[in-house]
């Protein structure tokens, strides 16, 4: 039970760390994404504080949603069990993939917005300064891609963890000699 709690705690901590780093970048790309696009929780326009605050608020629960099933996949049943330390590398790999895809998603959103393929709609179109629309869409797409890739990637990590336990626990096949 303690090891399962460690896996959940690792998942939550990793998600929060990712969220804070991700939001440190996106708050600097377009602070309006946080000041206009989110409820006024913090009463500041400081990108550092917004990145920390929203990085925590928007991701702790994602880590919990990953951590609980991941702990079950790592610990439940008769298969050999994995510890939190065994899951650190797959979780970090997931976060690197998410960050890379978020960067690509933000760039794609910027290109799509710059060429007129997508645009802000009301109420944001009139609230966000016109010259910030492309940057707002970049942030929006980066965040959507992060959540989407995190959801899919979380499933992949859980399945990989379950399958890894099966490989680890497989009994070696003994060579049987035939009677001579």
In a domain, 36, yes or no: yes
In a domain, 59, yes or no: yes
| Dihedral in degrees, nearest 10, Cα atoms 57, 59, 65, 66 | -160
pLDDT in tens, 137-152: 999 999 999 999 999 9
| Whole-angstrom distance, CA of residue 80 vs CA of residue 77 | 8
Q: Is the pLDDT of residue 34 over 80?
A: yes
Place of tokens 């990793």: 14
In a domain, 172, yes or no: no
Q: What is the mean pLDDT of residues 42-53?
A: 96
- pTM beyond 0.75: the answer is yes
* Per-residue pLDDT, 157: 98
* Per-residue pLDDT, 167: 76
In a domain, 175, yes or no: no
The whole domain housing 126 covers 2-167
Q: How far apart are the first and last CA of the chain?
A: 52
In a domain, 51, yes or no: yes
Number of domains in the chain: 1
In a domain, 44, yes or no: yes
Mean pLDDT value across the chain: 93
In a domain, 173, yes or no: no
In a domain, 50, yes or no: yes
pLDDT in tens, 58-97: 999 999 999 999 999 999 999 999 999 999 999 999 999 9
């Amino acid at each position: 039970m303690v090891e399962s709690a460690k896996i959940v705690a690792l998942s939550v901590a990793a998600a929060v760390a990712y969220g804070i780093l991700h939001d440190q970048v996106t708050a600097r790309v377009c602070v309006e994404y946080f000041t206009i696009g989110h409820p006024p929780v913090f009463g500041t326009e400081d990108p550092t504080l917004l990145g920390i605050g929203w990085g925590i608020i928007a991701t702790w629960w994602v880590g919990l949603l990953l951590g609980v099933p991941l702990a079950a996949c790592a610990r439940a049943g008769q298969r050999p069990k994995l510890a939190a330390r065994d899951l650190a590398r797959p979780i970090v790999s997931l976060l690197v993939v998410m960050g890379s895809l978020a960067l690509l998603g933000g760039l794609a959103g910027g290109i799509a917005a710059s060429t007129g393929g997508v645009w802000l709609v009301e109420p944001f179109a009139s609230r966000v300064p016109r010259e910030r629309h492309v940057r707002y869409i970049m942030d929006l797409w980066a965040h959507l891609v992060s959540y989407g890739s995190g959801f899919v990637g979380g499933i992949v990590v859980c399945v990989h963890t379950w399958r890894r336990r099966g490989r680890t626990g497989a009994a070696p096949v003994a060579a049987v000699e035939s009677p001579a």
